[in-house]
């Protein structure tokens, strides 16, 4: 039986979807089986990110009782399996959000890791994802507004009795105006799973319709997501030379 992670943020624009995608790709790099589900139904981005904005069968169809969840799974060239949601507003009609929990149960039987990219904020869509996840991973930026929203997300998870695996701090520029990690950890009272620096390689990956793990595997962002994935898997910190050998074997050096 696999494990389902609800990737959440108190507000949009913090890098939640980018984190969901690259965390999934990083887990795949460790030969883990991963299914990435776009549960941001109102503003879905995963299909667009991976170059599949329109698909014959989407997550919406499952939520409308029109298909089985297995029919909505697509495999990206990276090996990551994705379940995109529809960009069409008409496909928001008659969706049953309670079926997200059903999707979680079914997908955990066929995959080791199920990653739900939730809607931003703490509305009904996000709450249903929270119910469906086994653990919660919160994404935030190192500023007081974002961290305050992250705290609200953590408190909501506690109300739902869902364990918070930790927080991932993204878009870090190491400027004097950013909150120190010590202060963030003290305020949130959950582990910091990793710190992802602001990196142009992430934008370039979006243009190339792939995860930064594959477009720029030696970038700072890719390294950060690998380390987070290793932490989730309980692995020791992977040495740079080890990854150099992997990249060389894949012809990516």
The number of domains in the chain is 1
Tens of pLDDT along 197-212?
999 999 999 999 999 9
The H-assigned helical ranges of 122-239 are 124-132, 144-159, 181-188, 200-207, 212-215, 220-232
Domain range for 144 is: 3-249
Q: Is the pTM of this model over 0.75?
A: yes
- Better pLDDT: 57 or 240: 57
User: Which CATH number does the domain housing residue 186 bear?
Assistant: 3.40.50.300
Q: In b/e form, how buried is each residue of 135-145, taking b as 16+ CB within 10 angstroms?
A: ebbbbbbbeee
Is the pLDDT confidence value at 196 over 50?
Answer: yes
Q: How far apart are CA 140 and CA 147, in angstroms?
A: 6
Provide mean pLDDT across the span 158-162.
Answer: 97
């Amino acid at each position: 039986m696999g494990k389902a992670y609800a990737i959440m943020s108190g507000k949009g624009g913090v890098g939640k979807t980018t984190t969901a995608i690259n965390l999934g790709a990083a887990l795949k790099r460790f030969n883990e089986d991963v299914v990435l589900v776009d549960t941001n139904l109102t503003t879905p981005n995963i299909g667009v990110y991976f170059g599949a904005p329109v698909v014959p069968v989407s997550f919406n169809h499952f939520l409308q009782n029109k298909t089985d969840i297995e029919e909505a799974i697509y495999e990206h060239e990276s090996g990551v399996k994705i379940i995109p949601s529809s960009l069409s507003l008409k496909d928001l009609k008659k969706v049953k959000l309670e079926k997200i929990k059903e999707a979680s149960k079914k997908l955990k039987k066929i995959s080791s890791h199920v990653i739900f990219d939730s809607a931003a904020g703490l509305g009904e869509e996000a709450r249903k994802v929270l119910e469906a996840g086994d653990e919660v991973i919160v994404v935030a930026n190192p500023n007081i507004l974002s961290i305050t929203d992250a705290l609200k997300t953590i408190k909501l998870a506690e109300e739902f009795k869902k364990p918070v695996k930790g927080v991932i701090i993204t878009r870090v520029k190491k400027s004097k105006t950013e909150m120190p990690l010590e202060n963030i950890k003290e305020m949130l009272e959950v582990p910091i799973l990793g710190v992802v620096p602001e990196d142009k390689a992430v934008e370039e990956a979006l243009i190339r319709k792939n995860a930064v793990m594959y477009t720029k595997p030696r970038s700072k962002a890719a390294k950060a997501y690998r380390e987070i994935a290793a932490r989730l898997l309980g692995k020791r910190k992977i040495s740079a030379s080890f990854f150099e050998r992997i990249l060389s074997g894949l012809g990516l050096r």
